[in-house]
Amino acid sequence: MNLVVPPGAWGNWVNCGGWLVINGYHVDLILRDIKRVEQVIKETEQGIVTTNYQTGHPHGYISAMYRGELAISEILYSKNERIRELKKRAEIYPAALRKSLVDFFMFEAEFSLMFVKANLSSGDKYYIAGHAFRAISCINQVLFACNNVYCINEKKAIKLIDNFEYKPEKYAERVNRVFETLGTSPVECCEMIEKIYHEAGQIASEIEGL
């Protein structure tokens, strides 16, 4: 029985690995291509970032996640200094990356919100929900960037934002309310997203001015 999947089995960005249980403990073994990680480190320092379709990541796999994973990791073993040098670079949050993430995801949040508004009377809640999720996911990226924190997963992102210095008040509570409301009142849901979007934009403007 194969405990570890081959490269590409989980998609291009997760590479390969396995979900293991070792002595009763759940252990995620995830492998990364160090050459690709090194390339992402270089690109993100220039503000180059991509969003990629990836199983398990409903908003997408943001290339900067590689940088974030390395930044928060603890190196237990390395045969040379290569990975340690990359980690030192990753621990510095580039201003160019912050600007790129804020600019692009504010645009995408507004774009998704536009489609929410345009389809409020369509009765197509599946489609509306997709754009509502994308809008909030984009706002998450903006808020992480404004706080110089890497967002490495959609999971628990809104709870993490609640602990940031720069964020809308009661963020996680309000985001949860957005999706609770979607089924009963798409119009109210849209209004809540729009308010959060404008608050995030105000935060981004203030951060840019610092």
The answer, yes or no, to whether residue 140 has pLDDT greater than 90, is: yes
Model-level pTM? 0.93
More confident residue, 163 or 14: 163
Between vectors from CA 125 to CA 122 and to CA 127, what angle results, nearest 5°? 85
Q: What value does the mean pLDDT take over residues 167-190?
A: 97
The answer, yes or no, to whether residue 2 has pLDDT greater than 90, is: no
**Residues in Cβ contact with 1 at an 8 Å cutoff, skipping those fewer than 6 apart:** none
The length of the chain, given as a count of residues: 210
The answer, yes or no, to whether residue 210 has pLDDT greater than 80, is: no
pLDDT value of position 28: 86
pLDDT value of position 15: 80
User: Distance between CA atoms of 70 and 33, rounded to whole angstroms?
Assistant: 12
Q: Which of 5-9, 24-28, 57-61, 141-145 has the highest mean pLDDT?
A: 141-145
In contact, 104 and 146? CB cutoff 8 Å: no
User: Distance between CA atoms of 66 and 199, rounded to whole angstroms?
Assistant: 28
pLDDT digits (tens, 9 = 90+) for 189-207: 999 999 999 999 999 999 9
Radius of gyration of the chain measured on its C-alpha atoms = 19
pLDDT value of position 7: 81
User: What is the sign, positive or negative, of the torsion defined by CA atoms of 103, 192, 127, 180?
Assistant: positive
pLDDT value of position 1: 54
Which ranges in 1-63 belong to alpha helices (H)? 34-45
Between vectors from CA 204 to CA 168 and to CA 137, what angle results, nearest 5°? 65
pLDDT value of position 151: 98
What secondary structure letter does DSSP report for 6?
P
CB count within 10 Å of CB 207 equals 18
Which ranges in the chain belong to alpha helices (H)? 34-45, 64-72, 82-90, 95-118, 125-146, 157-161, 171-182, 186-208
Distance of CA 110 to the CA centre of its chain: 17
Query: Domains of the chain: which residue ranges?
Result: 1-31, 32-208
User: Distance between CA atoms of 106 and 168, rounded to whole angstroms?
Assistant: 15
